[in-house]
């Protein structure tokens, strides 16, 4: 936040730059940089969309000014793992073109009450009124030994009360919770016919879960919301995450 304020000569506080806000601005000597107040890790920060001819200049400026704030480079897979403990879904791995916002807990991103028609609106309204047949869920492994047991990856079977209900789509070790976290979709299949039934929050919350990792079952706690309260003091106020660059 302070780094971009120095480089753009503009306030970057939440009051001036609210969440998901995007605008073009100058960063250093580069013009037309698209800055968006969003990151993929759950930490306060910004995404910069930079014309390729300015990328090296902006990177050097950010790293130079950021030295006094303790800025550091981080790997792409580090960013992807951090987003899992914040329950952030990843397109192409957790989500695909057949996943709806209602199924993955992102209905707040869809404006159904603005009176504007769009492709898929009727289907989303039906899901809002009738319910969904799968629901994106976060699992915290409870009896998993990080040093001795095999680590989860993705595609691991999920069991609820001893019955198969889906599979994980991604996982990572949470340095905040000091446990492995898995994300995946829970379904409610009729034990006799295998037919899909509605998956309600109550159905998810009342189940006893296990994750099958290479044939060994581990107890897991299901959550429909991230452990937000555990992250409020995770980073000092004067630190800023620099998520990365994307040329265009």
List the domain range (segments joined by +) for residue 188: 87-223
Over range 23-47, report the average pLDDT.
84
Does the residue 177 lie in any domain? Answer: yes
With CA atoms as reference, report the closest residue to 209 among 157, 170, 169. 157
pLDDT of res. 228: 53
Most confident of 19-28, 222-231, 233-242: 19-28
Q: Are residues 193 and 112 in the same domain?
A: yes
Q: Are residues 92 and 12 in the same domain?
A: no
Q: Are residues 106 and 219 in the same domain?
A: yes
Q: Are residues 128 and 51 in the same domain?
A: no
Please say whether the beta carbons of 19 and 38 come within 8 A.
yes
Please indicate, yes or no, whether the overall pTM of this predicted structure exceeds 0.85. no
Q: Are residues 133 and 35 in the same domain?
A: no
Q: How many CB atoms lie within 10 A of CB 59?
A: 17
Does the residue 198 lie in any domain? Answer: yes
Helices (H), 97-223: 121-130, 201-205
Portion of the chain with pLDDT greater than 90, in percent: 44
Question: From start to end of 54-195, where are the E strands?
Answer: 134-141, 157-160, 163-174, 179-189
Number of domains in the chain: 2
**Percent helix, percent strand, percent coil in the chain, to nearest 5:** 25, 30, 45
pLDDT tens per residue, range 42-51: 777 888 999 9
The mean pLDDT value of the chain amounts to: 85
Does the residue 47 lie in any domain? Answer: yes
With CA atoms as reference, report the closest residue to 154 among 164, 142, 139. 139
Strand-pair partners of 182? 139, 171
Task: For residue 192, give the CATH number of its domain.
Answer: 3.30.1360.120
Q: Are residues 219 and 109 in the same domain?
A: yes
- At residue 124, the 3 state secondary structure works out as helix
Strand-pair partners of 30? 27
> 225 to each of 41, 54, 141, 177, 186, how far by Cα in Å?
15, 39, 16, 15, 14
Strands in 45-50's sheet, in edge-to-edge order, are: 22-27, 30-36, 45-50, 241-247
Does the residue 115 lie in any domain? Answer: yes
Q: Are residues 131 and 207 in the same domain?
A: yes
Residue 122 CA to residue 80 CA, distance in Å, equals 33
Q: Are residues 92 and 211 in the same domain?
A: yes
Does the residue 248 lie in any domain? Answer: no
Q: Are residues 36 and 148 in the same domain?
A: no
Q: Are residues 114 and 59 in the same domain?
A: no
Please say whether the beta carbons of 143 and 216 come within 8 A.
no
């Amino acid at each position: 936040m302070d780094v971009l304020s120095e480089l753009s000569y503009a306030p970057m506080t939440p009051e001036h730059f609210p969440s998901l806000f995007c605008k073009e601005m100058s960063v250093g000597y580069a013009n037309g940089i698209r800055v968006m107040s969003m990151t993929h890790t759950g930490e306060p920060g910004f995404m910069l969309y930079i014309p390729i001819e300015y990328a090296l200049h902006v990177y050097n400026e950010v790293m130079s000014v950021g030295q006094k704030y303790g800025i550091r480079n981080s790997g792409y897979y580090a960013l992807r793992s951090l987003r899992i403990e914040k329950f952030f879904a990843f397109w192409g791995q957790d989500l695909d073109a057949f996943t709806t916002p209602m199924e993955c807990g992102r209905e707040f991103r869809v404006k159904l009450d603005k009176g504007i028609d769009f492709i898929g609106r009727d289907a989303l309204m039906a899901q809002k009124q009738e319910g969904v047949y799968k629901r994106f869920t976060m699992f915290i492994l409870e009896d998993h030994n990080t040093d001795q047991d095999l680590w989860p990856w993705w595609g691991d079977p999920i069991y609820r009360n001893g019955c198969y209900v889906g599979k994980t789509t991604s996982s990572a070790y949470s340095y905040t919770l000091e446990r492995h976290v898995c994300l995946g979709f829970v379904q409610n299949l009729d034990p006799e016919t295998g037919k899909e039934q509605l998956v309600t929050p109550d159905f998810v919350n009342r189940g006893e879960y296990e994750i099958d990792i290479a044939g060994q079952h581990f107890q897991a706690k299901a959550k429909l919301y991230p452990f937000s309260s555990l992250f409020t003091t995770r980073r000092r106020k004067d630190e800023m995450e620099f998520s990365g660059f994307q040329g265009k």
